[in-house]
Structure 1
Amino acid sequence: MSVPPQDALPLFVTCSRGVEALLVAELTALGAHEAREKRGGVACAASLETAYRACLWSRLASRVLLPLKTFALTDAQSIYDAAGDIVWPDLFAAHSRFAIEVAGRTPGIANTHFAGLKLKDAVVDGFRAAGLERPNVDTDDPDIRLHLHLDREQGSLSLDLAGESLHRRGYRARGVEAPLKENLACAILVRAGWPELMTQAEAPLVDPMCGSGTLLIEGAWMAADIAPGILRARWGFEAWLDHKPLLWQRLREEAQQRRAAGLAQLQPRFYGRDLEPRAIAAAKANAERAGLAGKLRLETGDAIAARAPGTTPGLVVTNPPYGERLAHEAELVKLYSLLGVTLQQQFAGWRFGFFTARDDLAQRLGLRATKISSLYNGAIACKLLRFDIPGGTAPHADGAPPAVVAEPAEDFANRLRKNVRHLGKWAKRAGVSCWRVYDADLPEYAVAVDLYETAEGERHAHVQEYAAPKTVDPARAEKRLRGALAGVQSVLEIPPARLHYKLRQSQKGASQYQRQSEGENFHVIVEHDCGLYVNFDDYLDTGVFLDHRPMRLRIQNEAAGKRFLNLFCYTASASVHAARGGAASTLSLDMSNTYLDWAQRNLLLNDFHSQQYERPPPPGVKLSRHALVRADCLAWLAERAGLPAPPQFDLIFLDPPTFSNSKKMEGTLDIQRDHAGLIRQTMALLAPGGTLYFSTNRHGFKLDALIAGQFEAHDITAQTLDEDFRRPPPAHKCWAIRRREGGGLPTFAHVAVGAGESDEDDDDSGAP
């Protein structure tokens, strides 16, 4: 370790957590002495020139602090006393505006704002004691920044030489915050190996989810030897009375010369894409302000469709979106799985740096990390995973042999092609535009794939993965899912953005109806001359249960002039079909405002005007022709069936959940246990000559023998299954139930529902 010069300044240079070791190396290269890692920064000794260079050239630092005093911290008065020992007029002039930043904590001071006020008082009193005017405080645009750090029983006062945080390079539009700060982006690039690769003139840098372009711009500046502080107009040290303007001017001119030389030799080898056109527009504007016009190749597109630019391997690096941009787990699983396939197929031999707060999903990539680094994005703990993508010559860091590129799921793809050919002909003959193309036909690939053709002319694939049992190796299950998703995308020729993935599993704590995203991206499909809204992303189901397609058509064909009741209606697609068939009236009940709103949109889409009731109107109140009522169907049935003259309906559709203990219900519902009483209550509302269609998707369901004895109950399951749901043998069951000829109203029987207290919901059937 070199010996610092006699006039060396003590510095504390701050950085993001996890970057300290990299910052030690960087500061040492810039000329600092005795650099030592500390939590959240590096302590070192440096000449004034090196301090200037740290401000101008450090790609990793946040602030360059010049410690003024360290003192014992007992209470707020100790801050005032320590600051009073400093001759403030020797540091900056009275006309300079100053600001104070307080960080850390101490038991003796509960409020950092109060600590800042005590320091401000000491500074102002110091100027007054010297017979000078008091300087003004300006928190928005100060000339001088003072930093007070509270660390339990110790406090430290520093002068911030940089002024604004060094991550603010000057190329990003003011007021626009990015999810990734510029200095953290540089740390990611260093850890990912870009400094070694950038010396190869043709090695590309690719960010397939580039956002506003931070990683690409910082990577280009590194390759072009551009000082990260070159665009900054103001510095904290400029109002410092020990500032040496001539020395600073020389360093600035040197940086300008290096920038010009670097840009002259910089090749346009930086490639970015993003699904959001606004992000690409921001990236282009940032690149232009950074002086990189023409050096970055930016386009709107899905990361999964990224391709290697040329034959020279380089670095793929990205900070995938999470939180607001990708709100639910299923979308992350799809992204990680398909990205892993793309990398292995299109970027063999490249390096890959993956910065994520969800490293628990990293195994979905199907790649083995050669190095993992812990970094923090603000307060969020993240991991940077570095991979050597198989197919190249780059050795593994751990000396292990290169991994084998995952074989494509040819068996799955072949079955999918076969189904598309066979079922596609049937769908065309039947006029069906939305159908199930694959349903766990191969046990190894436990997914259901539904193909939707929307009224807008788009093709979407809705993929549902059945959760693997605990006996299945998770790594094997993930590999098969990757192969299945890649097969769906390839065989069906679906753009990644129109491939929608969900994980179906037993719902614990949240039903299948719980919102999973906030996209509100609705599409319209057409079924039997009925328009229906579907949503592929926000919920586990899309809003239309495809297995009930024949049932909806049957209702439509039988509804003319009839009064139709739709219990547990979900989005009321069956009510739309009944209305299209000429029903005299429709009444649809559900507990969810969300789905009743959806149902109302479905009816209005087909020019059927409906009225929504927030609670069940009293018996006898005349409802609108197409009424939507928010109600607990169990309670509503019990009340209506018990009336001396219950309301009458000619056609009823009853498709309750298989199990529910929603907090909105008065009890629990188990359809196997409770269906007999539920059917009897519903039959009390059935007009003479009418039909009740009862449907369930409970596996192994058996109709109560007493129901079959009391009513005419015909199993019509086979008639309510289209070609796309006949394999494998489905859980779907359906009965047409009528009163026996000459029979009167059934004896009222109360539904025996449990008194569960849980708010959980588990529903795997649902109404159409």
Structure 2
Amino acid sequence: MSDQYELFLTCPKSLEGLLAEEATRLGLQDVREQVAAVRGQGDLETAYRLCLWSRLANRVLLVLKRFKLENAEELYQGVHDVDWEEHLDPAGSLAVEFSGHGSGIDNTHFGALKVKDAIVDRLRTAEGIRPKVDKVNPDLRVHLRLERGEAILSLDLSGHSLHQRGYRLQQGAAPLKENLAAAILLRAGWPRIAAEGGALADPMCGVGTFLVEAAMMAADIAPNLKRERWGFSAWLGHVPAIWKKLAEEAEARAETGLSQPPLWIRGYEADPRLIQPARNNIERAGLGEWVKIYQGELATFEPRPDRSQKGLVISNPPYGERLGDEASLLYLYQNLGERLRQACLGWEAAVFTGAPELGKRMGIRSHKQYAFWNGALPCKLLLLKVLPEQFVTGARRADGASSSDSSVSTQSEPARLSEGGQMFANRLQKNLKQLGKWAKREGIDCYRLYDADMPEYALAVDLYGDWVHVQEYAPPRSIDPEKAQGRLLDALAAIPQALGIDPSRVVVKRRERQTGTRQYERQGSEGRFMEVSEGGVKLLVNLTDYLDTGLFLDHRPMRLRIQRESSGKRFLNLFCYTATASVHAAKGGARSTTSVDLSKTYLDWARRNLALNGFSDKHKLQQGDVMAWLTEDRGEYDLIFIDPPTFSNSKRMEGVFDVQRDHVQLLDLAMARLAPGGVLYFSNNFRKFQLDEGLSLRYSVTDISAQTLDADFARNAKIHRAWRFTTR
């Protein structure tokens, strides 16, 4: 066998340049970059050294053979011709990985099967002994990549991916892989900072991956020193003496590194559930003396080894994966920027983010940015120098001042709003001044403050006590998504300042045209209900878990009308949702209420609303398709309220409900249940809805839309339409 081999190192996409530099330092020659890989030449010692010391590679592949092929038979023959007797015992185990396609091989499983068959057939003995397949811990892991009609056949010397160092047995919800964390530290300049005796702090450390990788770099610990099984452990070409020499050298370097005074490396994590797993990971890595973890909120984060100590703050804030995360993430980034300005003056900072637009909201200019991929997600690494001249907010402090100095205020000025953000804030304050007086006079604590008053900021902003519920109307396709996102962030930045609301009490959702029952589907699972008051009744709202909150604010006048008119009446509430109208009817003295809806979830919510007000008897909740229920019901009602969805195709329904198509049948069925002298109220929020003219020939119909709008919806007269029906 040759003393020199072609070596192929795979890595996450975007790490190729760093890996090429690292591999060159570790002895690889003629290094060339490829997508998610580098290749070069080296001897067996170099290959072993790469396995042991590469902080960035996933795998180290030793190329056995390259050959051209045009079909599956040539693949089989090319693999079969290799002297497999030099690599694997016939009684050993084997795993094959196949990637690429072409030359008539478009299925990786088929390609892997061909490679496996070729190796097994070559090694099969006269006695029938042959290698077995073991996909978990094989003696030999073979890799074949098919690329433009050429097969590249390799041995995987790594075994399991090199990013699996072995210390992280416990991890959080979305951890960075260890080699990506190492790459971020390298780009952030941590080796230079560590060599100068600098400190490192992670204010949102999760299970401590950044901390452990940083400590291993600073202590000169080979990242895979503790790995016990390698891809070459049972390879017949393995030379134990070479490996033993390298391993002993690495042990000695680690012992020397750990004997030095530890650098100040600290992590802070708000989630108490992650503290012990993080500490366990640190102990497994043998770095308990170097790395410390504390529980603490970002707002209290303050790295302070001593007054003169400087270093690197590194962070990977959450990216946001669910509806409405924009608000919490914006305020998180703003808070991070504030803590950096207040507590880390003179430090360097590195923020790894999947939302670069949010990075701009920290109030500190980045002097350098690097593009990365975290799996399939494009990300940016923002490098910052925490110096007053880099600040883009009003918050500055005297050079060298510590937040512990009694002469220096730790209260930062609010983040400076953009011109558009300030305009939005001004409009909110103007509306609050006008509507706030009205709401106080009427005893209303939930109302709409803003409803796309400025076309550029297409939001609805509702106040629920000291909470703010924001609905973003989906922008038209003609609007640049980045521009729309920027405006949303401007608005979200303005809301807490304009209203004096804690940012943690702002909830954001995106409102798009909904189909079926999607508007009622669960969006989250926080289960956070709060009580609000309206017209002398208490109602439960949930601002986080559903697109709607459980209370349609625009129907407030209708609910109060029902309360006034319900005394002694039998009340029927169709498509009742959370039965807020039924609660009002009960409050007004209704003899009985019947509430019908298809959703068990919302009927349970309705039951809680009734119970909250002490109404439990004489108030029925019926689960069912309203049209079918009306067809079967034989009850008589004095007051009926119908507020149907625009469209519904629930699996529990027979057919599909369309309010424009089906409202005549719906109203005829409901009017058949109306007692003599009774009143039916019908409303819906479909903007293009046209009430069938024929209904006015059979019933007395009055459009009462204008009477069912309070001051907070006066600027949006099309929020809903409403009619009063009686028999002729």
TM normalised by structure 2 equals 0.77
Distance, in Å, in 1 between the alignment partners of 2:640 and 2:146 is 71
Q: Could you tell me how far 1:183 is from its partner in structure 2?
A: 1.5
Aligned to 1:648: 636
Distance, in Å, in 2 between the alignment partners of 1:726 and 1:127 is 81
3-state SS of the aligned residue for 2:185?
A: helix
**Is residue 575 of structure 1 aligned with residue 582 of structure 2?**
yes
Superposition map of 1:251-650 within 5 A: 251-263=246-258, 264-273=260-269, 276-293=271-288, 295-296=290-291, 298=293, 305=299, 307=301, 309-310=303-304, 312=310, 314-318=312-316, 320-322=318-320, 326-328=321-323, 330-331=324-325, 333-348=326-341, 350-356=348-354, 373-378=370-375, 380-386=376-382, 388=384, 406-407=416-417, 434-436=446-448, 447-452=459-464, 460-465=467-472, 481-489=488-496, 496-504=503-511, 507=513, 513=519, 515=521, 517-519=523-525, 521-527=527-533, 532-549=539-556, 551-556=558-563, 558-579=565-586, 581-590=588-597, 595-596=602-603, 598-600=605-607, 602-603=609-610, 626-631=620-625, 647-650=635-638
Distance, in Å, in 2 between the alignment partners of 1:719 and 1:363 is 44
Aligned to 2:676: 688
Does the C-alpha gap of structure 1 residues 393 and 424 become closer, same or farther in structure 2, counting only changes over 3 Å?
A: closer
Q: Could you tell me how far 1:652 is from its partner in structure 2?
A: 2.0
Deviations 1:293-340 (A, max 9, x none): 36555566776x475635847344316345xxx322x32x32443344
Confirm or deny: 8 A CA contact 2:163 2:177 kept in the other structure.
yes
Distance, in Å, in 1 between the alignment partners of 2:500 and 2:492 is 12
Aligned to 2:43: 47
Distance, in Å, in 2 between the alignment partners of 1:470 and 1:146 is 49
Greater mean alpha carbon deviation, residues 433-442 or residues 99-108: 433-442
Determine what percentage of the aligned residue pairs are the same residue.
43
Q: Could you tell me how far 1:59 is from its partner in structure 2?
A: 0.9
Aligned to 1:220: 215
User: Which residue, out of 238, 242, 251, partners 1:247?
Assistant: 242
Greater mean alpha carbon deviation, residues 158-167 or residues 262-271: 262-271
Distance, in Å, in 2 between the alignment partners of 1:715 and 1:95 is 87
Superposition map of 1:1-80 within 5 A: 7-80=3-76
Does the C-alpha gap of structure 1 residues 698 and 558 become closer, same or farther in structure 2, counting only changes over 3 Å?
A: same
Confirm or deny: 8 A CA contact 1:36 1:43 kept in the other structure.
yes
Distance, in Å, in 2 between the alignment partners of 1:27 and 1:152 is 26
Confirm or deny: 8 A CA contact 2:172 2:274 kept in the other structure.
no
Does the C-alpha gap of structure 1 residues 423 and 160 become closer, same or farther in structure 2, counting only changes over 3 Å?
A: same
Greater mean alpha carbon deviation, residues 87-96 or residues 472-481: 472-481
Aligned to 1:204: 200
**Is residue 86 of structure 1 aligned with residue 92 of structure 2?**
no
Task: In structure 1, give the amino acid aligned to 2:17.
Answer: A
Aligned to 1:233: 228
Task: In structure 1, give the amino acid aligned to 2:625.
Answer: A
Deviations 1:206-250 (A, max 9, x none): 353x44333343233333332211221222223234434343333
Q: Could you tell me how far 1:251 is from its partner in structure 2?
A: 2.5
Provide the aligned length of Structure 1 versus Structure 2: 689
Confirm or deny: 8 A CA contact 1:573 1:602 kept in the other structure.
yes
Confirm or deny: 8 A CA contact 1:391 1:405 kept in the other structure.
no
Distance, in Å, in 2 between the alignment partners of 1:437 and 1:299 is 41
Deviations 1:671-696 (A, max 9, x none): xx998998787555432343444556
Confirm or deny: 8 A CA contact 1:434 1:450 kept in the other structure.
yes
Q: Could you tell me how far 1:28 is from its partner in structure 2?
A: 0.3
**Is residue 161 of structure 1 aligned with residue 154 of structure 2?**
no
Distance, in Å, in 1 between the alignment partners of 2:715 and 2:687 is 13
3-state SS of the aligned residue for 1:237?
A: coil
Distance, in Å, in 2 between the alignment partners of 1:17 and 1:372 is 17
- What are structure 1's unaligned runs of at least 5 residues? 1-5, 397-403, 454-458, 611-623, 740-744, 747-768
Does the C-alpha gap of structure 1 residues 557 and 545 become closer, same or farther in structure 2, counting only changes over 3 Å?
A: same
- What are structure 2's unaligned runs of at least 5 residues? 393-413
Greater mean alpha carbon deviation, residues 40-49 or residues 335-344: 335-344
Task: In structure 2, give the amino acid aligned to 1:631.
Answer: D
TM normalised by structure 1 equals 0.74
Distance, in Å, in 1 between the alignment partners of 2:55 and 2:234 is 23
Q: Could you tell me how far 1:557 is from its partner in structure 2?
A: 5.3
Confirm or deny: 8 A CA contact 1:178 1:212 kept in the other structure.
no
Q: Could you tell me how far 1:60 is from its partner in structure 2?
A: 0.9
Distance, in Å, in 1 between the alignment partners of 2:230 and 2:188 is 31
Aligned to 1:759: none
Does the C-alpha gap of structure 1 residues 285 and 423 become closer, same or farther in structure 2, counting only changes over 3 Å?
A: farther
3-state SS of the aligned residue for 2:25?
A: helix
Distance, in Å, in 1 between the alignment partners of 2:25 and 2:132 is 38
3-state SS of the aligned residue for 2:519?
A: coil
Q: Could you tell me how far 1:555 is from its partner in structure 2?
A: 3.3
Does the C-alpha gap of structure 1 residues 41 and 591 become closer, same or farther in structure 2, counting only changes over 3 Å?
A: same
